[in-house]
Chains A and B, each alone.
Chain A
Amino acid sequence: MLLNKFLDSLEKQWLAIIVAALWLFTYTASQEKNNALLEQTKYLEVKVIELEKKDHESDKMIDSLSKVDTVIVNRIKTIKQKEYVQIRIIDSLPVSGLQQYFTDRYSEK
């Protein structure tokens, strides 16, 4: 009896049932699709964060290499200063000093 009434009401509301079913179907389908897309976004976000870390490390590395370059330039400057001092010393070196230089440089071992 109750079931018949229910079926009757279903028959009368066929359009509403079809619309509701269609809406439910499309809603769940789009939700599933959205969830998959959000998962993909999360995956990409993680990838981007990892790459940004690598980029930061690379930045640090480049900075340290630039510092090394400055150190080398300073070392070259020091070598040139030492060279200048040595040349000045040679200018005032006595003959015996020059002889000693040759002896030290070309001494036979």
Chain B
Amino acid sequence: MGFSSISQIVTQKNDSVVTLSETISRKVVSDLVRYDFAKNIIKEQEIRIKNYQNKEIQFKNQLDIKDSIIFYQKGMLDIQKEIIKSKKPLEIHGYVGVQSTQFTLREPTLYTNLMLEFTRFNIGAQYFVQPSNPPGYSVVLEYNLF
């Protein structure tokens, strides 16, 4: 194979002429082709990056949506709890206690209560004894203020 060369002669005056060997010119052409394809790949990669950015935005939106769903579901749970609490069935409680007459130890009243307790009010019966009085009973009615 003989030595062949490629000359690029530019029409401009006073311009130098560069002579390339076949091997070098083949390498130059290969590099130029790689460069052209690399530009195309960069374009595709840029599209890919934009796609990733859009995906990231979508993921962030989805995260916000899921947070909102959790927030509203928590609200629903709180309401359900409140409904359950307000529908609390009646409870029966028994109490025993001592009641003084003013702030003295004279004539204390020993009593026992049996109460039916609803959400807002209680009703029950009281039996009481006092040292110098006969025992007695009464009805107790209470409204739950707070």
Residues of A within 8 A of B121 (CB): 22-23, 26
- Given known contacts A26-B119, A48-B73, A69-B51, A41 and B34 CB-to-CB distance under 8 angstroms: no
> Taking the complex as formed, is B65 at the interface, i.e. its CB lies under 8 A from any CB of chain A?
yes
- For chain B, residues 52 to 82, give those with C-beta under 8 angstroms from any C-beta of chain A: 52, 54-55, 58-59, 61-62, 65-66, 68-69, 72-73, 75-76, 79-80, 82
Interface size on B, residues (CB 8 A): 49
Secondary structure at the B interface, as helix, strand, loop or mixed, is helix
Nearest chain A residue, comparing its CB with the CB of B69: A51
**Cα distance A33–B66 when bound, in Å?**
29
Counting residue pairs across A and B whose Cβ atoms lie within 8 Å, the total is 125
B80 touching A58 by the CB < 8 A rule? Answer: no
The SS class assigned to the A binding surface is helix
Give the Cβ gap from A21 to chain B, nearest Cβ, in Å: 11
CB proximity to B under 8 Å, residues A59-109: 59, 61-62, 65-66, 68-69, 72-73, 75-76, 79-80, 82-83, 86-87, 90-91, 93, 95, 98-99, 101-102, 105-106, 108
Please indicate the chain A residues that have their CB under 8 angstroms from the CB of B119 in the complex.
26, 30
Told that A44-B76, A69-B55, A102-B25 touch, could you supply 10 new A-B pairs with CB distance under 8 A? A22-B121, A26-B118, A33-B86, A40-B79, A47-B72, A75-B44, A79-B41, A90-B33, A93-B29, A98-B29
